[in-house]
Amino acid sequence: LWCALVISTILYFFALCFLNGVTEYFRNDADNVEVEAVMLRMYGSVWSAMLTLFMSISGGLDWKLAMEPLATIHWAYQPTFAYFIFFMVFGVFNIV
């Protein structure tokens, strides 16, 4: 039970981080309709962002597909997403 709580908390933290960037993107300069549709599908709410991140670390979704919409927001989201994958796969999953 505590494992699920730890993983959920980490997913929630990173989902809020990425959702903040998506919100700012739509607030300021959303201009690409295809990217916007993918962003809303993957990161349109806290639940969908957490689900996208969980699918990325569990093999349900390719990392690149989940990272591409974030890269259009700002370059810093690529290394942040890569750190999330690294932290979860090599840190959390090997301990839990």
Distance of CA 64 to the CA centre of its chain: 11
Task: Quote the pTM value.
Answer: 0.89
User: In this structure, what token pair is assigned to residue 29?
Assistant: 């300069």
Query: pLDDT tens digits, the chain, 96 residues: what are they?
Result: 788 898 999 999 999 999 999 998 888 876 778 888 899 999 999 999 999 999 999 988 998 999 999 998 889 999 999 999 999 988 887 776
Which sign, positive or negative, has the C-alpha torsion 64, 68, 81, 78? Answer: positive
What pLDDT is attached to residue 48? 95
pLDDT at 95: 79
CB atoms within 10 A of CB 90: 10
Q: Give the CA distances from residue 87 to residues 19, 24, 35, 48, 71, in Å, rounded to whole numbers and listed in that order.
A: 19, 25, 27, 20, 19
